[in-house]
Structure 1
Amino acid sequence: MLTVESLTKRYGNRTAVDGLSFTVRPGTVTGFLGPNGAGKSTTMRLLVGLDAPTSGRALIDGRRYADLPAPLREVGVLLEARSVHPGRTAFRHLMALAHTHGIPRRRVEEVIGTVGLQDVAGKRAGSFSLGMGQRLGIAAALLADPAVILLDEPVNGLDPEGVRWVRTLLTSLAAEGRTVFLSSHLMSEMAQTADHLVIVGRGRLLADTTVERFVREAGLGRVRVVTPEADRLAGLLGDGAVREAPDTLRVTGTDAAHIGRTAAAHGIPLTELSPHTASLEDAFMELTRDTVEYEGRAAAA
């Protein structure tokens, strides 16, 4: 289990993480989301002792990473796929890690097979593509068979087959009762992989909820209505009804059942009554729109 308690990290005048608290529990895949600059990578670095908090605590099974007697056996970490000596082969890189914890050679060979690098295990890591580097990083995270898995953008650079493989791997690890915590910018992939979400913006917690609830609540109260008597129905529904077209309303603040009953009671025909179904991306963009640090603009025509 991962526990973050009132965690704060400042770099000079800039606050990267601001009083953050959440818990990542075993048996689920927890997605860590936020706009660029939201503090996700800093939080992960604090969890594994690469940075020291200004205040608060980041704990792995109740202990600081620095206090773990055998860190690889407690938590598997992938923060940067390229953090491998480029002149060392994949096999030698993993063997070097294995020697630090008394892990046998057969386990190294096993994880190389698990991540699909058996054909390139003797090649130097400096020649690897980004996707191959990701697989090597995941192999290192799995090497000591830890109960906690912490991965930052694990599908970055992977092809569709590789993305599906990571999804299957992570869900199977969670099904074994492990704690799985990962960040990703791919909303469609997170929607298929994660059970729970921790969402941050400008270093602060915005949401700590299940994927299903987050998406469901994002879609509540928005209904598309098509009727030849749009003006009349809008008058009955009040300020929540906004005209999108001569025969189309977007209604907020109520549900489809109430709209249907209102129309029926006044003899207003409806040709469409569609509650809005939000995607994870829709819900995320709506929640974080005021916390985006780097925002693009459309080019002028």
Structure 2
Amino acid sequence: MIEARALTKRYGGRTAVADLGFTVRPGAVTGFLGPNGAGKSTTMRMILGLDAPTSGSVTVNGKRYADHPAPLHEVGAMLEARAIHTGRSARNHLLALAATTGIPRRRVDEVIDIVGLREVARKRVGGFSLGMGQRLGIASALLGDPSTLVLDEPVNGLDPEGILWIRNLLKDLVAQGRTVLLSSHLMSEMALTAEHLIVIGRGRLIADMSVADFVRDAAGGSVRVRTDDADGLRRLLAGPDVGVATLGGGVLEVTGLASDRIGRIAADHAIALAELTPQQPSLEEAFMELTRDSVEFQPPAREPEGQPA
């Protein structure tokens, strides 16, 4: 379990993380999201004792990272997969890490097999592809068989088979009761992997909830309706706070009304519906909506076409 309490980090006059509080619980993959510059990396570095908080605290399994006598047994981390001596082989890199905390050599061979690097384990890391480097970084995080994992962009550089592998691996780990904090910019993958989300912007907490609740709470949901009397239903649904778009083929897209309300209006006027489907935004759309005021850098407004720049 990871617990942050009033966590704050300042660099001179700039506040990177401000009064941040959250709990990452075991048994679920928790996604850690935020725009660039939101403070995600700083927060993860404070979890791992690489940066000291200006105020507040963060603990892993009840203790500060530095207070654990054998941290690799408590928390495994991958913040930068390629932060490895390029002249070493993958196996020697893992053996060196294992020797620091008394991890047996057989565990090195176990994690090499887990991440699928058996055939290249004795090759120099400098010749590894990006995906192979990611697998070695994950092997390093798993080395101490920790109860808690902190992973930053673990699927970066992996092919589709590798992405499916890490997704299933993380689900297996949380099924064993472990804690997983996962940061990624790949919203499609986060939607398939994470069950809970912690979202920050400009160093402050924006959301701490399940993926389903996060998407449901986002603005922009609509309802797709199909009927033989689209014109009649459109007139009945129209209102100051209701948008009705005609898509053709008897299909309407309705915003501002819940599907059950649309169904009741249609029933009251004997209009048969062939389809009534709520259209929830994707995780990416929900994320963009809820963090749009927390983006550090906004792109410049586009000039109207035909106008001089």
TM-score over 0.5 for the alignment? yes
User: Structure 1 residues 182 and 290, CA, compared in 2 at 3 Å: closer, same or farther?
Assistant: same
Find the counterpart in structure 2 of residue 242 from structure 1.
243
User: Structure 1 residues 246 and 22, CA, compared in 2 at 3 Å: closer, same or farther?
Assistant: closer
CA distance in 1, matches of 2:112, 2:275: 54
User: What amino acid is aligned across from residue 54 of structure 1 in structure 2?
Assistant: T
Find the counterpart in structure 1 of residue 20 from structure 2.
20
User: Structure 1 residues 298 and 82, CA, compared in 2 at 3 Å: closer, same or farther?
Assistant: farther
Structure 1 segment 145-294 matched on structure 2, within 5 A: 145-218=145-218, 222-225=222-225, 227-229=230-232, 232-235=235-238, 238-245=239-246, 250-266=253-269, 273-294=276-297
Question: What's the TM-score once normalised by structure 1's chain length?
Answer: 0.91
User: What amino acid is aligned across from residue 288 of structure 1 in structure 2?
Assistant: T
- Decide whether the 8 Å contact of 2:224 with 2:276 is kept in 1: yes
Find the counterpart in structure 2 of residue 84 from structure 1.
84
CA distance in 2, matches of 1:13, 1:249: 52
My pick for the range that moved more, 224-233 or 197-206, is 224-233
Structure 1 segment 115-154 matched on structure 2, within 5 A: 115-154=115-154
Pairwise CA distance, 1:224: 3.9
Q: Which runs of 5+ in 1 are unaligned?
A: none
Aligned length in residues? 299
| 1:126-158 CA-partner distances (Å, limit 9, x unpaired) | 111111111111111111111111101110111
User: What amino acid is aligned across from residue 231 of structure 2 in structure 1?
Assistant: P
User: What amino acid is aligned across from residue 240 of structure 2 in structure 1?
Assistant: D
CA distance in 2, matches of 1:178, 1:231: 51
What SS is found at the alignment partner of 2:102? coil
Question: What's the TM-score once normalised by structure 2's chain length?
Answer: 0.89
CA distance in 1, matches of 2:257, 2:245: 17
User: Structure 1 residues 221 and 190, CA, compared in 2 at 3 Å: closer, same or farther?
Assistant: closer
Structure 1 segment 31-42 matched on structure 2, within 5 A: 31-42=31-42
- Decide whether the 8 Å contact of 2:246 with 2:253 is kept in 1: no
My pick for the range that moved more, 204-213 or 238-247, is 238-247
Pairwise CA distance, 1:273: 3.8
Pairwise CA distance, 1:112: 0.8
Find the counterpart in structure 1 of residue 49 from structure 2.
49
**Identical residues among aligned pairs (%):** 63
Find the counterpart in structure 1 of residue 106 from structure 2.
106
Pairwise CA distance, 1:244: 3.2
CA distance in 2, matches of 1:166, 1:245: 42
User: Structure 1 residues 145 and 223, CA, compared in 2 at 3 Å: closer, same or farther?
Assistant: same
CA distance in 2, matches of 1:129, 1:143: 21
Pairwise CA distance, 1:116: 0.8
| 1:45-96 CA-partner distances (Å, limit 9, x unpaired) | 0100111111111110111111111111110010001110111111111111
- Decide whether the 8 Å contact of 1:233 with 1:268 is kept in 2: no
Find the counterpart in structure 1 of residue 67 from structure 2.
67
User: Structure 1 residues 94 and 281, CA, compared in 2 at 3 Å: closer, same or farther?
Assistant: same
CA distance in 2, matches of 1:85, 1:12: 32
| 1:96-143 CA-partner distances (Å, limit 9, x unpaired) | 111101111111111111111111111111111111111111111111
What SS is found at the alignment partner of 1:171? helix
Pairwise CA distance, 1:34: 1.1
What SS is found at the alignment partner of 1:274? strand
CA distance in 1, matches of 2:105, 2:287: 43
User: What amino acid is aligned across from residue 115 of structure 1 in structure 2?
Assistant: V
User: Structure 1 residues 58 and 114, CA, compared in 2 at 3 Å: closer, same or farther?
Assistant: same
Pairwise CA distance, 1:222: 2.9
CA distance in 2, matches of 1:290, 1:182: 23
Pairwise CA distance, 1:294: 3.0
- RMSD of aligned alpha carbons: 2.2
Pairwise CA distance, 1:172: 0.4
CA distance in 1, matches of 2:235, 2:168: 52
- Decide whether the 8 Å contact of 1:229 with 1:269 is kept in 2: no
User: Structure 1 residues 168 and 221, CA, compared in 2 at 3 Å: closer, same or farther?
Assistant: closer
